[in-house]
């Protein structure tokens, strides 16, 4: 009897929390169209802003967003409910962006000057800027230092820019970013470190 009870408890514990993203995906997989509407409402703005900062052609952004949610709809039965839905949908979005880059055969960039709505707090962005707090005073006192830094971030290699945007503007953990980018955590941390070091060099400050 204890074994049966334990099995039931384990089964209940493994179910997604009521109202969670993961539960909605289960409902969608079972054919509940209303669940898809809720997922769309929750994530449309976030995914739109994520793509907007990586694709320069405005007319293509909404098409890519729609493609992301179409893939969510079609792939809902394949979603592993033990994983976080947010990581899964960002991974789909990143793959769509990469497909777009390949089709356009041109390097696309995102702009950190683009409004980002509610995602990413000002303190998060300021924390990133403070990675440069030990720069010489003559650098920090340059007019529009923050704006200059944003322009330089646009010049970072694609993979480094992606890590920066997911961390700073979408407030994801490095572990979540690693899952989205399908690479080891150490690789994500390395990309962030290289990005910061490269920006410091561009600002005229060599590493020790």
Is the pTM above the cut of 0.75?
no
Is the residue at 43 inside a domain? yes
Q: Round to whole Å and give the CA distance between 140 and 132.
A: 8
H helices, E strands: number in the chain: 11, 0
Let me know whether 100 and 31 are in one domain: yes
Is the residue at 195 inside a domain? yes
Q: What tokens does 196 get?
A: 């910061």
Q: Round to whole Å and give the CA distance between 20 and 208.
A: 47
Let me know whether 126 and 166 are in one domain: yes
Q: What tokens does 39 get?
A: 């997922």
Tens of pLDDT, residue by residue, the chain (208 residues): 555 555 454 444 456 677 799 999 999 999 999 999 999 999 999 999 999 888 877 778 999 999 999 999 999 999 998 889 999 999 999 999 888 877 765 443 444 444 433 444 445 445 555 555 555 555 545 556 667 777 777 788 989 988 988 887 788 889 999 999 999 999 999 999 898 888 778 877 655 4
Is the residue at 13 inside a domain? no
Is the residue at 155 inside a domain? yes
Where a domain ends, among 104, 139, 163? Answer: 104
Is the residue at 144 inside a domain? yes
Which CATH number covers residue 28? 1.10.1740.10
Boundaries of domain holding 45? 19-104
Q: Round to whole Å and give the CA distance between 84 and 23.
A: 11
Where a domain ends, among 73, 104, 135? Answer: 104
Q: Round to whole Å and give the CA distance between 108 and 158.
A: 8
Domain count, the chain: 2
Tens of pLDDT, residues 97-148: 888 877 765 443 444 444 433 444 445 445 555 555 555 555 545 556 667 7
DSSP sequence for 66-97: HHHHHHHHHHGGG--TTS-HHHHHHHHHHHHH
């Amino acid at each position: 009897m204890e074994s049966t009870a334990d099995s039931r408890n384990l089964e209940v514990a493994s179910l997604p929390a009521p109202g969670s993203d993961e539960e909605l995906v289960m409902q969608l997989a079972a054919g509940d169209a209303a669940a898809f509407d809720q997922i769309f409402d929750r994530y449309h703005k976030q995914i739109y802003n994520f793509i907007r900062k990586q694709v320069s052609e405005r007319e293509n952004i909404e098409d890519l967003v729609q493609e992301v949610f179409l893939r969510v709809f079609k792939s809902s039965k394949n979603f592993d409910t033990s994983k976080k839905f947010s990581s899964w949908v960002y991974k789909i979005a990143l793959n769509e962006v990469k497909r777009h880059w390949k089709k356009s055969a041109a390097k696309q960039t995102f702009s950190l000057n683009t409004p980002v709505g509610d995602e990413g707090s000002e303190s998060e962005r300021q924390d990133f800027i403070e990675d440069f707090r030990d720069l010489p005073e003559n650098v920090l006192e340059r007019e529009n230092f923050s704006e200059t830094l944003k322009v330089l971030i646009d010049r970072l290699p694609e993979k480094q820019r992606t890590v920066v945007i997911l961390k700073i503007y979408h407030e994801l953990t490095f572990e979540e970013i690693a899952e989205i980018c399908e690479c080891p955590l150490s690789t994500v941390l390395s990309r962030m470190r290289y990005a910061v070091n490269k920006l410091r060099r561009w600002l005229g400050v060599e590493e020790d």
